A and B are shown apart, each in its own frame.
Chain A
Amino acid sequence: MTRAGGWLLAAAALTLPLWLSSAYHLHVAIMAGIFGVLALSLNLLLGFAGQLSLGHAAFFGIGAYTSALLTLKGEWSFWPALAAAVALAGAAGWLVGRLSLKLRGAYFVLVTISFAGVISLVSVNWIELTNGPLGLPGVPAPELFGWSLRSKTAYYYLVLAGLALSYLVSARLVKSRIGRAFVALRENEPLAESVGVDVTHYLVLAAVVSAGMAGLGGSLYAHYTRFVSPEVFLFTYTVTMVVMVVAGGKGTLAGPLVGAVLFTVLPEALRAAASWQWQMLAYGVLLVLLVFFLPRGIVPALQALRRRGAS
């Protein structure tokens, strides 16, 4: 993306509430922002380190539950609860990373799925803590210096800040030595190892940062919908993240954002025309079509087009 284009986009995102008059449109923008955080998070593992996590909803859900429980039962305020959500999700990422550091490909995927399955069952069955399938209603809205961020406009800016933070962390990380190590591992692990890249260290690091970021998304989600239930662990969330990253372009910084906006706005726009099941059916078909026709995603395809136009 050119620098001017980037500034233009940032300006548009900052002034969005001024020209989106309806609360519904703002709601869609907030959800796109939260999914943007989640897509960036999955992209670190899938796009840069080359490991597909199909249990990413677990880190999202851990963040959501941590933040909700601390503010509801512990009477913490929002900001420390948010930090705790990121920390606990990151710790879960560390655990999964340590456990599965010897596993690759399908086996890594299976461990992440199993981890999410166990956590989801705990959230349903540990009723004293989580209130079971009934969930936790009345999660408080965040406050900043005594101001409630309850309004949609205020919450939009909170999510935008979270998204910007996730983007900056991703950008700093992948443009640093660490990011180059990730890519080296993804492209050729034995070769990377032979030139001294510590595989275990970097894969665990990728898992921790990615999971912490998903925890941030979870906390933002919990305090926005004001309700958390075992549904946050639904596989649908993981699938949505995967579709966003793969469609947008894994291993790019802009790709997950494009995917997140596209696959939040599109289903909402099609809501009147097609039911939820049709949309999910379309997701499945779309994933297959993407692999066949646009395997690298939208952003890399556009970049290739522009390069061809320039030369």
Chain B
Amino acid sequence: MAELLQHLVNGLVLGGTYALLGIGLTLIFGLMNVVNFAHGEFYTLGAYVAFAALAWAGVDFFVALLMAIAAGAALGWLCEVTLLRPLRGESIDTTMLVMIGVWIAMQNGELLVWGGVAKSIPHPFPTAPLVLGPVAIAPLRIFVLVLAAALIAASWLLIQKTKLGRAMRATFQDRDTAALMGVGIGRIHAATFAFGSGLAAAAGALLGPVFLVYPSMGDLASLKAFSVVILGGLGNLPGATLGGLLLGIVEELGAGYISSGYRDAVGFVIIILVLLFRPSGLFARQERIA
């Protein structure tokens, strides 16, 4: 029982960041119809920005997180404006190929800049775990979980309560009508891509100190983000949140009770099974945003 609880807590921490990754991707995929294979590279970018800010500049952890989000959002915006905007209206395969190109270029750029050796991010938290009854949890992990929850809540507020969010929802439901009603589709696309990339970078900055940072870390992050999107349904924000938590917990249980070597297979198997049996996602009655 104690072991099960421990796995659940670890899975929750992991799942919170998966949810962040998934929310970013589900917005980009759902709203822009772009299969963003470079999503994981923004996660990697966030982790390296956090590394530079904490290890070199020695700034506060919050500041490092904000810097990572800003860097991810800025590069995401640039990516949308230079590469995706000219291709709007092209087939989904065309933009997918471009994003595969961006993925390869970004990953190898990171490899050139940072080298292939994994880095660990220094963090200001005590390493001794807090013991709460049967469960032991490192203070850093609590911090990661709380911040992930805060960012998810902020995203939800942005989509539901702001003017930008309403324009995003309108664009998702019916692009042409939204455009006729005066929504600037170009601006919404750029904002969505920047927002999603910022969330991915935040996930990287949060998970970076928990694990290690290395250039190809984004590959698995991308696949996990896709599993979350498929679990939750396209453009479905609560679905992505639940899907992320579920994936984190199932992975943790699989690694604990079956075999740690197959931990990362969980995401792949979820993709295959959900697409085969419930292609609109586990939680969706229909595809929708927010």
Binding site for B on A (CB under 8 A): 52, 54, 99-100, 102-103, 105-107, 109-111, 113-115, 117-118, 121, 124-125, 235, 239, 242, 246, 277-278, 280-281, 283-288, 290-292, 295
Residues 111-169 of B at the A interface (beta carbon under 8 Å): 111-112
Is the CB–CB distance between B104 and A118 below 8 Å?
Answer: no
Residues 67-110 of B at the A interface (beta carbon under 8 Å): 83, 86-87, 92-94, 96-98, 100-109
Number of A-B pairs whose CB atoms are under 8 Å? 112
Measured CA separation A110–B226 after assembly (Å): 8
Q: Contacts A286-B101, A287-B98 given; indicate if A106 touches B35 (C-beta within 8 A).
A: yes
Verify if B211 is at the interface (C-beta below 8 Å from A): no
Is the CB–CB distance between B271 and A281 below 8 Å?
Answer: no
Is the CB–CB distance between A242 and B92 below 8 Å?
Answer: no
Given contacts A107-B275, A290-B97, 20 further A-B contacts (CB under 8 A): A52-B93, A103-B275, A105-B92, A109-B35, A113-B223, A114-B269, A114-B272, A117-B265, A118-B268, A239-B100, A246-B97, A277-B112, A280-B107, A281-B109, A284-B105, A284-B106, A287-B97, A287-B101, A292-B86, A292-B87
Inter-chain contacts of A115 with B (CB < 8 A): 268, 272
Measured CB to CB, the closest approach of chain B to A68, in angstroms, equals: 21
Measured CB to CB, the closest approach of chain A to B36, in angstroms, equals: 10
Is the CB–CB distance between A280 and B272 below 8 Å?
Answer: no
Query: Which of the segments B177-185, B243-251, B256-264 contacts the partner chain?
Result: B256-264
**Can you offer 11 A-B residue contacts whose CB atoms are under 8 A?**
A103-B275, A105-B92, A109-B96, A111-B275, A118-B268, A125-B262, A284-B102, A284-B108, A287-B98, A288-B98, A292-B86
Measured CB to CB, the closest approach of chain B to A190, in angstroms, equals: 16
Is the CB–CB distance between A118 and B265 below 8 Å?
Answer: yes
Measured CA separation A288–B107 after assembly (Å): 14
Measured CA separation A103–B271 after assembly (Å): 12
Measured CA separation A285–B107 after assembly (Å): 12
Measured CA separation A102–B275 after assembly (Å): 9
Q: Which residue of B lies closest to A276 (CB)?
A: B108
Most A-side CB within 10 Å, residue of B92, B94, B101, B271 = B101
Partner of A117, one of B83, B112, B268, B279: B268
Inter-chain contacts of B96 with A (CB < 8 A): 52, 105-106, 109
Inter-chain contacts of B97 with A (CB < 8 A): 242, 246, 287, 290-291
Measured CB to CB, the closest approach of chain B to A116, in angstroms, equals: 9
Q: Which residue of A lies closest to B86 (CB)?
A: A292
Q: Which residue of A lies closest to B260 (CB)?
A: A125
Measured CB to CB, the closest approach of chain A to B32, in angstroms, equals: 12
Interface of chain B: mostly helix, strand, loop or mixed: helix
Is the CB–CB distance between B223 and A283 below 8 Å?
Answer: no
Measured CB to CB, the closest approach of chain A to B33, in angstroms, equals: 9
Q: Contacts A105-B92, A110-B226, A125-B259 given; indicate if A287 touches B104 (C-beta within 8 A).
A: yes
Q: Contacts A110-B226, A110-B271 given; indicate if A291 touches B104 (C-beta within 8 A).
A: no
Verify if B230 is at the interface (C-beta below 8 Å from A): yes
Verify if B57 is at the interface (C-beta below 8 Å from A): no
Q: Which residue of A lies closest to B215 (CB)?
A: A277
Measured CA separation A54–B262 after assembly (Å): 21
Measured CA separation A286–B100 after assembly (Å): 11
Measured CB to CB, the closest approach of chain B to A219, in angstroms, equals: 25
Measured CA separation A1–B264 after assembly (Å): 47
Verify if B1 is at the interface (C-beta below 8 Å from A): no
Measured CB to CB, the closest approach of chain B to A203, in angstroms, equals: 15
Inter-chain contacts of A111 with B (CB < 8 A): 271-272, 275
Measured CB to CB, the closest approach of chain A to B76, in angstroms, equals: 16
Is the CB–CB distance between B103 and A284 below 8 Å?
Answer: yes
Most B-side CB within 10 Å, residue of A54, A109, A284 = A284
Verify if B2 is at the interface (C-beta below 8 Å from A): no
Q: Contacts A105-B93, A121-B261 given; indicate if A239 touches B104 (C-beta within 8 A).
A: yes
Verify if B287 is at the interface (C-beta below 8 Å from A): no
Is the CB–CB distance between B93 and A114 below 8 Å?
Answer: no
Inter-chain contacts of A283 with B (CB < 8 A): 101, 104-105
Inter-chain contacts of B261 with A (CB < 8 A): 121, 124-125
Residues 206-247 of B at the A interface (beta carbon under 8 Å): 219, 223, 226, 230
Inter-chain contacts of B271 with A (CB < 8 A): 110-111, 113-114
Inter-chain contacts of A290 with B (CB < 8 A): 97
Q: Which residue of A lies closest to B263 (CB)?
A: A121
Most A-side CB within 10 Å, residue of B111, B223, B267, B272 = B272
Measured CA separation A108–B230 after assembly (Å): 12
Inter-chain contacts of B219 with A (CB < 8 A): 235
Inter-chain contacts of A281 with B (CB < 8 A): 104-105, 108-109, 112
Measured CB to CB, the closest approach of chain A to B26, in angstroms, equals: 13
Measured CB to CB, the closest approach of chain A to B236, in angstroms, equals: 16
Is the CB–CB distance between A114 and B223 below 8 Å?
Answer: yes
Is the CB–CB distance between B112 and A278 below 8 Å?
Answer: yes
Partner of B268, one of A99, A109, A114, A239: A114
Is the CB–CB distance between B101 and A285 below 8 Å?
Answer: yes
Measured CA separation A278–B271 after assembly (Å): 32
Q: Which residue of B lies closest to A132 (CB)?
A: B261
Partner of A121, one of B105, B106, B264: B264
Measured CA separation A246–B268 after assembly (Å): 26
Measured CB to CB, the closest approach of chain A to B107, in angstroms, equals: 8
Q: Which residue of A lies closest to B216 (CB)?
A: A235
Is the CB–CB distance between A291 and B94 below 8 Å?
Answer: yes
Measured CB to CB, the closest approach of chain A to B72, in angstroms, equals: 18
Measured CA separation A179–B199 after assembly (Å): 44
- 5 smallest beta-carbon distances between A and B, as pairs: A284-B105, A287-B101, A284-B104, A114-B268, A288-B101
